[in-house]
C-alpha cells in the first residue's frame, strides 16, 4: 500500500531549506517564501547587517568566494527574526550577484 502526498503545508512547515539571491554587496534581490519565513529576509536587506556581531568579515569572504565560483558548504552566523542562528549555505555566481541555497541548523536535537 502506498501513501498519498502529505497535506498541503506540512512539507513547508517542516522544511529548513531556503534560497535567495543577492548582488555583489550582499543586498538581497530575491528570496523564496522559506527564506522569508525562516530568516525574515526582505528584498533590500543587506547580509552584512544581518550578521551576528563579529561575523561580518566571514560573510564578506563568503560573498567574495561565491562571486568567483561555486562554493562548498559555509557555516554562517546570522540574525534571523531577531535570534542568532547558524546557517549552512552553498552558493554560486548568478546573473548580477550570487545565488545562495542553505538550511537553518537545529539549535538542539531530540533524544
What pTM did the predictor assign? 0.87
- Structure confidence at residue 18 (pLDDT): 95
As a 3-state breakdown, the chain gives helix, strand, coil percent values, each rounded to 5, of 25, 35, 35
pLDDT at 60: 97
pLDDT for 7 equals: 78
Q: What is the DSSP letter of 7?
A: P
10-51 pLDDT, tens digit each = 777 777 899 999 999 999 999 999 999 999 999 999 999 999
C-alpha cell at 9: 503545508
At 60-83, the pLDDT tens digits run: 999 999 999 999 999 999 999 999
Q: Are 71 and 86 in contact (CB under 8 A)?
A: no
Above 60 in pLDDT, residue 110?
no
The answer for residues whose C-beta is within 8 angstroms of residue 39's C-beta and 6 or more apart is: 18, 31, 50, 78, 80, 81, 85, 104
- State residue 9's pLDDT score: 77
Amino acid at each position: 500500500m502506498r501513501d498519498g502526498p502529505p497535506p498541503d503545508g506540512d512539507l513547508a512547515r517542516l522544511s529548513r531549506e531556503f534560497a535567495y539571491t543577492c548582488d555583489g554587496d550582499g543586498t538581497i534581490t530575491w528570496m523564496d517564501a522559506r527564506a522569508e519565513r525562516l530568516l525574515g529576509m526582505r528584498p533590500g536587506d543587506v547580509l552584512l547587517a544581518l550578521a551576528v556581531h563579529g561575523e561580518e568579515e566571514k560573510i564578506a569572504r563568503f560573498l567574495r568566494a561565491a562571486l568567483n565560483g561555486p562554493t562548498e558548504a559555509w557555516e554562517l552566523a546570522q540574525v534571523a527574526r531577531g535570534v542568532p542562528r547558524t546557517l549552512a549555505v552553498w552558493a554560486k555566481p548568478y546573473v548580477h550577484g550570487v545565488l545562495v541555497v542553505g538550511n537553518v541548523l537545529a539549535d538542539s536535537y531530540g533524544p
